[in-house]
Structure 1
């Protein structure tokens, strides 16, 4: 059973409130920044340079894709190697597992064979919270068997007519109530199986007609509607204790003209203050074509200033290194407070301690 998130977050919450220094305060700036970076692998083995960064304590997590998988045995060896390198990190980090993530929603978005053997739409058609929870447990068992400890699921976007998530069968339903009930039950099942769940894509992409990776969706609805409907499943997820929330690439004019994951009003204002979420906030992939007009440096700085804790670089190690270097440079120049970096790193480390 995973430890209580409220208990392990005590130090991080204290740090953000200025009451006490959290564990990140004892790290070098490169290490504190590194805990907020999630990198990727090009193939089925761990590159030497990436292993060295993990050993130096300069990487908080790794995201896996189908390109990293040839067999379950191979993937078990790969994740074991990643965690072995983490155990060689500086002492404050070596007992805290590396976050190893994957998108295992079911249906079209599924990186590994095995559970879930149904798409979110199929879960929605069943309409059974018990079935959704069993599906989450089975998915957790599948992922834990190969060393994955974070699932970037469930999708809590409402499947409005004409939306990409509905067309791609990534949604649990067409109402906030059904998405909350079934997506929340799937997340509960992941937790019961020992895998951390991630609610996505806040504040909701269920009205977006385009694939969020390819184009920036503009969700032009009044703020009252957004809060009452689109954000409702995320409010429920926060109450359930879902430990991670992914912020979308969409633009919500009622809140900001920038993509949500670069908007402080969305990430800090809506998710932290309005929703009351106290867990770890993660960006969508910072290398998707929808935002490739921005450099890795600009994206990393904008994401951290907006209030994201974890930055996903899903395509290239070079982009992850450039983003991290920009954050270190900004701290040393005084344009990014070290306390801001430490607060996010403390939340990430508290999250990882749940996996011990």
Structure 2
């Protein structure tokens, strides 16, 4: 593969060695963090309005936030969002955690777009079009997000389209074929990577068999472990082989793999994702303040459980739940030395990725490489 061809997540070279095993010097550097910083660096915070609230500014200044999740209520125009993201990144942070904030959004395309603009087509419509159109959709999303200062897109969706699938009904699946889903999802990510935008494929180990959404209710998927591994998990393989830096773990229960929601189950996060598939990057949860997790206790308890399971970044849709999560993680790591060390290593993994984002060089894969949009080989530097 030619230089500049391996895409964004395979060229975060400074972080790849970290993913393979945290060097002792790196872990030692994170031991200088307080428990409050370790806990806060596990959480992605939402907030209301187009101006960072004082509580969030204070958290960032103290080094107690990994990033933010933006919704339409934070602004939908490129100008408004760019002004907001500039203000967020300009907030000073302690040297130990001085890395770009992760600024995330759901910009899948079609029916799921938090910002005004592309991609116009969602995965459901792209499934019926040439694979090259998925690359173009990723490029258009990446160009928009680059201009607005958003550096992470919680997309593409790698869930298969199955009979009765709510994801398919929403027009969010690239289709029923694992290989077709993988190819289109990969190209979408490549297109975003040309603009320095990180992709987060979701919802591992696969939500295609769900007839209801975990945003509304607890969901149990009864597929056999063999089916999940051969079909639903398969689309992640090509992206992991190329050094994918982040994957979102869902919140459904997979009865053949365990009795807990995926993001709270070490057998799925560590066993399936890391050990079986060889993923070395950052595992981020789907939103943990969903009704799907209500049976599993308070936000504090759920956050602690996700951290114990091996989730690196905890995602939330509500500010109050996110702040409760920090308390939950802090309490859990304060009671368990082993968990404390694992949590510190997790923060190091995430910080390594964030620090490498500014120097990543990206480019399209061969055979699907018409003229890129003009920033190939450079980090996203809008404006």
| TM range, smaller chain | over 0.9
Partner of 1:148: 150
TM-superposed CA distance for 1:41, in Å, is 0.9
**How does 1:231-250 map onto structure 2 within 5 Å?**
231-250=233-252
Partner of 2:123: 120
Do residues 52 (structure 1) and 58 (structure 2) align? yes
TM-superposed CA distance for 1:336, in Å, is 5.7
Partner of 1:203: 205
CA offset digits 1:76-124 (Å, max 9, x no partner): 1111111011xx1111222x10000000001221101111111111111
TM-superposed CA distance for 1:22, in Å, is 5.3
TM-superposed CA distance for 1:329, in Å, is 2.1
- Unaligned regions of 5+ residues in structure 2, if any? 359-383
Kindly report structure 1 stretches of 4+ aligned residues shifted beyond 3 Å.
11-14, 17-20
- The 3 A distance-change label for structure 1 pair 99 and 22 is farther
TM-superposed CA distance for 1:332, in Å, is 2.3
Partner of 1:92: 96
Structure 1 distance, partners of 2:106, 2:43, is 17
CA contact (8 A) 2:210 2:219 kept: yes
**How does 1:28-43 map onto structure 2 within 5 Å?**
28-43=34-49
Partner of 1:310: 313
CA contact (8 A) 1:255 1:266 kept: yes
| TM-score (ref. length: structure 1) | 0.94
- Unaligned regions of 5+ residues in structure 1, if any? none
CA contact (8 A) 1:14 1:22 kept: no
**How does 1:246-285 map onto structure 2 within 5 Å?**
246-285=248-287
Among 49, 64, 77, the alignment partner of 2:70 is 64
RMSD, aligned CA: 1.7
**How does 1:93-108 map onto structure 2 within 5 Å?**
93-94=97-98, 96-108=99-111
CA contact (8 A) 1:22 1:342 kept: no
Structure 2 distance, partners of 1:325, 1:343, is 19
CA contact (8 A) 1:14 1:21 kept: no
| TM-score (ref. length: structure 2) | 0.87
Structure 1 distance, partners of 2:299, 2:100, is 26
TM-superposed CA distance for 1:292, in Å, is 2.9
Partner of 2:356: 354
CA contact (8 A) 1:250 1:260 kept: yes
Higher mean displacement: 200-209 or 333-342: 333-342
TM-superposed CA distance for 1:12, in Å, is 5.2
CA contact (8 A) 1:330 1:336 kept: no
TM-superposed CA distance for 1:36, in Å, is 1.2
Structure 2 distance, partners of 1:30, 1:80, is 25
CA contact (8 A) 2:42 2:66 kept: yes
CA contact (8 A) 2:27 2:345 kept: no
Structure 1 distance, partners of 2:224, 2:17, is 36
- The 3 A distance-change label for structure 1 pair 325 and 284 is same
Structure 1 distance, partners of 2:28, 2:154, is 26
Among 7, 10, 14, the alignment partner of 1:7 is 14
Higher mean displacement: 213-222 or 23-32: 23-32
Partner of 2:196: 194
Partner of 2:88: 82
TM-superposed CA distance for 1:7, in Å, is 3.0
Partner SS for 1:62: strand
TM-superposed CA distance for 1:6, in Å, is 4.1
CA contact (8 A) 2:104 2:154 kept: yes
**How does 1:13-28 map onto structure 2 within 5 Å?**
13-15=20-22, 21=27, 23-28=29-34
- The 3 A distance-change label for structure 1 pair 20 and 52 is closer
Partner SS for 2:30: helix
Among 129, 132, 150, the alignment partner of 2:131 is 129
CA contact (8 A) 2:162 2:176 kept: yes
- Report how many aligned residue pairs link the two structures: 350
Higher relative CO (CA 8 A, sep ≥ 6), structure 1 or 2?
2
Partner SS for 1:139: helix
TM-superposed CA distance for 1:333, in Å, is 2.6
Partner of 2:378: none
Structure 2 distance, partners of 1:148, 1:196, is 9
